[in-house]
Chains A and B, each alone.
Chain A
Amino acid sequence: MAHGQEHEHAHQAVPSDPALRVKALESLLVEKGLVDPAALDVLVDRFENKVGPRDGARVVARAWVDPDYKRRLLADAPSAMAELGYTGGQGEHMLVMENGPKVHNLVVCTLCSCYPWAVLGLPPVWYKSAAYRSRAVIDPRGILREFGTQVGEDVEVHVWDSTAELRYIVLPERPPGTENLSEAELAALVTRDAMVGVAKVPGPAEKAAGEKA
């Protein structure tokens, strides 16, 4: 702790604003040849533009339309995701948990912020918040209510706490009224929140209503 305080006092030259401090740190590390700014550009671009919940949604939609794929996905998620080209970090040891009429799954990391980066991208702030991390394991139904998610009293709620290097994603239920939709149309319905398990996938009518609101 004393070390931390010294550290603060010693920093007359570097301002406290995180934006300026990060800039100073980056320029120091670049000058010392420890960091290549172009590598940082690649990382930022990947998570801002290339990887995200749309990837997980493609996996879910494929599982909904292709029972064989779903079987492979539930048995060996990393291989099944690799079939669709998803092989990146924090997805090596992925497990898929299937929701059903009597089972609802919810994912949390109570100790830090573990999240399936490879198919959902980086986690939202709420997932990393004390409010979510503390309550998901003791009051999952309270969390679900806050998200407006109805789960019946006869439904088992399974909470998956990501305490090791396994990463969890929820395979939500396919909403009714989607029998005639294409795989791409189905993927467009699947939300990040549904794959974390705090929400269900809205049907086409609900989605349209939600977008207007």
Chain B
Amino acid sequence: MNGVHDMGGLQDMGPVQYEKNEPVFHAAWEGRIYGIDRALRSIGKWNLDAWRHQIELLPPAEYFRLTYYERWLEINGQLAVKHGLVTQRELATGAPDPGSAKAAPAFTAAVAAERLGRGIPSSHDPTVPPQFKVGERVRARNLNPTGHTRLPRYVRGKAGIVTIDHGVYVFPDTHAHFQGEKRQHVYSVRFTARELWGADSSARDAVQLDLVHVDLWDDYLEHA
């Protein structure tokens, strides 16, 4: 969806606010919601793409008003209700409904420690052929889906060169909506700054030299 989260190329968002010696969490609650988020996601009712989409669905003014971890707090409550882990009433009162079932948490300290030490397996899958080759000129398709997508607006319709075939990954546009993994290749596509932002770049020095690399799925691309 063409939401405010898709920020590449927006202007007038102000200078970058830099905090020296920034703590990992600015308050204890930020760490707790970080942990709650990981624990709830591990239950497996929603995947990372659905999670990202839930953040994108925050009303635009809310998206900007909330801090990063406040967004996590909002969407974890929303996802837990949406996927039946808690009721709206429980979320509102902070107490379990009378007679509600009590589970045994699967994401224990031991599981957390073990999972943190390993990643998800690599994405080599010879059964899914690539649609594009390294060195090939491609164009990002002009798509405007109303659901989740990882095709940023600033590359749509622009031509670039495939520089890396990263292998096979699940397709966020379907996966976020529980419509299947639709596994396909992801490529690093190199765009010139001139292609993305135009040749008339008086405000941007050395634009001819600058390059932007974007990771794009097969379904986002066409031959150019």
- A interface vs B, CB < 8 Å? 1, 4, 7, 10-14, 18-19, 21-29, 31-36, 38-44, 46-48, 52, 78, 87-93, 95, 108, 110-113, 118, 121-122, 124-126, 128-143, 146-147, 153-166
Contact = CB atoms under 8 A, between A and B. Distances in A.
Nearest to A143: B16
Contacts of B11: 134-135, 138
16 contacts: A25-B91, A28-B94, A29-B40, A31-B95, A32-B96, A33-B102, A34-B105, A39-B111, A43-B38, A46-B116, A88-B119, A93-B123, A130-B7, A159-B210, A163-B214, A164-B150
Interface in B71-111: 73, 76-78, 80, 85-86, 88, 90-96, 100-105, 107-109, 111
Nearest to A38: B109
B89 to A, nearest CB: 8
Contacts of A133: 7-8
A162 B116 contact: no
Interface in B1-58: 5-11, 13-19, 22, 24-29, 31-36, 38-40, 43, 52, 55, 58
Given A88-B116, A134-B11, A18 B70 contact: yes
A112 B36 contact: no
Contacts of A18: 29, 33, 69-70, 73
Interface residues of B, number: 100
Nearest to A113: B68
B197 interface: yes
A46 B152 CA distance: 32
B166 interface: yes
Contacts of B64: 130
Interface in B127-174: 150-152, 154, 164, 166, 169
A140 B29 CA distance: 33
B113 to A, nearest CB: 5
A12 B33 CA distance: 21
A163 B213 CA distance: 10
Contacts of A43: 31, 34-35, 38-39, 112, 116
A35 B39 contact: yes
The 5 A-B pairs at the shortest CB distance, nearest first, are namely: A40-B35, A92-B119, A110-B8, A24-B94, A164-B215
Contacts, number: 293
B24 A11 contact: no
Contact of B105 (A35, A92, A110, A161): A35
Given A36-B109, A129-B16, A134-B13, A14 B92 contact: yes
Nearest to B3: A111
Contact of B68 (A11, A118, A125): A125
A139 B94 contact: no
Contacts of A25: 33, 36, 73, 76-77, 91, 94
A194 B80 CA distance: 38
Contacts of B32: 22-23, 26, 40, 44
B35 A39 contact: yes
A161 B6 contact: no
A87 B119 contact: yes
B62 interface: yes
Nearest to B90: A28
